[in-house]
Amino acid sequence: MSSVATIQTARSKVARRSTESRREARNFWIYVSPWIFGFLTFVLGPMIYSLYLSLTDSPLGSLGDFVGVANYVEVFGDDLFHIAVRNTAYYAVVSVPLQLVLAFFLATLLNKRIPAIGVFRTIFYLPSVIAGISTVLLWSWIFNANYGLVNYLLSLVGIDGPNWLSDERYAIPAIIIMSLHGVGGAMLIFLAALQDVPSELYESAQLDGAGRAQQLFRITLPMVSPTIFFNLILGIIGALQVFTQPYIFGQLNQNLGRNRGMYVYVQYLFDAGFRYYRAGYGSAIAWILFAFTLVISLIIMRTSNSWVYYSDGGRD
């Protein structure tokens, strides 16, 4: 009888566990269902619809005829496409490394034990949370050719400043300089990574006679390389999607004509979809940007095996 009771007890435990597992599974799907609904409705659904639109000649607000890859062929043959790609690539290649270096430098300075260090961290982070349009309006005054702060400072050393927002040679450099004021987010991430580096490593290096440069390249940079990788990916994605600065600058200088020197890729997409009401053509432009961003990100992820180190001594 004792063996029968033992079997019945085991069966009851299995049944209870099975009931609890089903309850946990049901609760899981109940809890994640709002996210699933939102993802399907606001992310995956619009992406699939946009992919379909890119294969049609649909105007904005209605469906058109299926045209296959004609939109993509037209995009690659458009001179504006090449101008936008060149300007965007110029901005990304220059601005992203500068932002990473500046953010790391500021994080290094702010990783000190000095009085009121929290105030300094807040001051350097604050510009990154200011609304984009108001910031662009401020910088449009700074870069003004007649009474701007930049040209005034250049005049003090005998340099005749250029017309930053109208001269095609200086439009992208102006946007790059402006982008450097918003490195506060990357700076905080670097700061967190620097504070996570064990101090024992620096103490051992000092005992071995390592200088500051050796400590930087042999300890600090390898230890924060995952953070560099993270900020690099986010920086490239953000740079390829730059829009607010050149668009607002262009609106403020309409009387000077369209400056092709600051005509970037997302503005090309915006014009196609919302100025000329070509939803299908604009969707094709958007998918080309998505594919290019994906390829760049995958290349960086593949090459990260050789330079991204983790705390366990391994690599990605």
pTM, rounded to two decimals: 0.86
Average pLDDT, the chain: 87
Q: 225 falls in which pLDDT band (50, 70, 90)?
A: very high
pLDDT in tens, 93-152: 999 999 999 999 999 999 988 888 888 888 888 888 886 788 888 888 899 888 889 999
Q: What is the pLDDT of residue 14?
A: 61
What are the pLDDT digits (tens) for 281-294? 999 999 999 999 99
Give the residue among 127, 135, 82 at the shortest CA–CA distance from 102. 127
pLDDT confidence tier of residue 246, bands split at 50, 70 and 90? confident
Domain ranges across the chain = 1-53, 71-306
pLDDT of residue 7: 61
CATH of 71-306, one of 1.10.10.10, 1.10.3080.10, 1.10.3720.10, 2.120.10.30: 1.10.3720.10
Would you say residue 257 has pLDDT above 60? Answer: no
Mean pLDDT of 163-175: 87
Summarize pLDDT for 34-93 with one digit per residue, the tens.
999 999 999 999 999 999 999 999 998 888 899 999 999 999 999 999 999 999 999 999
Q: Is the pLDDT of residue 232 over 90?
A: yes
pLDDT at 3: 62
- In order of 130, 156, 313, the CA distances from 141 in angstroms are 17, 18, 49
User: What values do phi and psi take at 238, rounded to 5?
Assistant: -65, -40
CA distance 251 to 128: 23
Cα distances from 173 to residues 71, 164, 176, in angstroms, run: 32, 8, 5
Q: If pLDDT is split at 50, 70 and 90, which confidence band does 312 have?
A: low
Contact 160, 154 (CB under 8 A): yes
Q: What is the pLDDT of residue 161?
A: 84
Write the single-letter amino acid at 81: F
User: Is residue 255 very low, low, confident or very high in pLDDT (cuts 50, 70, 90)?
Assistant: very low
pLDDT of residue 256: 46
Average pLDDT on 4-28 reads 71
Q: Residues near 221 by Cβ (< 8 Å), separated by ≥ 6?
A: 228
> Between 313 and 14, where is the model more confident?
14
Residue 169 pLDDT: 87
What's the CA gap between 118 and 110, in Å, rounded?
Answer: 9
CA torsion sign for 62, 83, 266, 45 is positive
Q: What is the mean pLDDT of residues 230-254?
A: 88
Read off the pLDDT of each residue in 250-279 and give the average, rounded to a whole number. Answer: 82
